[in-house]
Structure 1
Amino acid sequence: MTAAIITLDRVFRYSDRDLPDPDSGMQPEAVLKHYARQFPRLVGAKIVAPIQEEDRYVYEFRKASFGDKG
């Protein structure tokens, strides 16, 4: 019996939009900064722990709201 290593793709979700992974070697925080240049509302956003959907991990970007302390 041979063991197989399966790597799941990542996708980053923002406002019901799935954004492709710009570079699988980037940390999620770096991906957030990358997309914040396109979507200024992501500045200060948080990354929600990934969930698995089919054959990919989905990271959600949540924009910061006023009064959000953590």
Structure 2
Amino acid sequence: MAIVKMQRIFRMGATDLPDPDADLTPEQVLSHYATLYPTLRHGKVEEVGAEGDCVVFAMKAAEYKANG
């Protein structure tokens, strides 16, 4: 039996972003992409599941709410 390391895809809305470095944690990848997409600066990342031979993570921007 062979062990296959699955690739990771980071999904932001309808955009699939590649994994910049397989050694980074999902939170570190979120921080990396926050430099390119400022809406992710206070966002969160969640594992969605597997699609084929890839593990998909959803990156979601922070929700801002009005006071009152």
* TM-score where L is the length of structure 1: 0.87
Partner of 1:29: 27
Q: How many residues align?
A: 65
| Paired AA for residue 11 in structure 2 | R
Partner of 1:7: 5
**Runs of 4+ displaced beyond 4 Å:** none
1:40 is the counterpart of 2:61: no
SS at match of 1:66: coil
CA shift for structure 1 position 64? 1.1
CA RMSD across the alignment: 0.9
* TM-score where L is the length of structure 2: 0.89
**Identity value in percent:** 38
SS at match of 1:58: strand
Partner of 2:14: 16
For structure 1, list consecutive stretches of 5 or more residues without a partner in the other structure: none
For structure 2, list consecutive stretches of 5 or more residues without a partner in the other structure: none
Question: Partners in 1 of 2:55 and 2:47 — Cα distance?
Answer: 10
Question: Partners in 2 of 1:49 and 1:20 — Cα distance?
Answer: 15
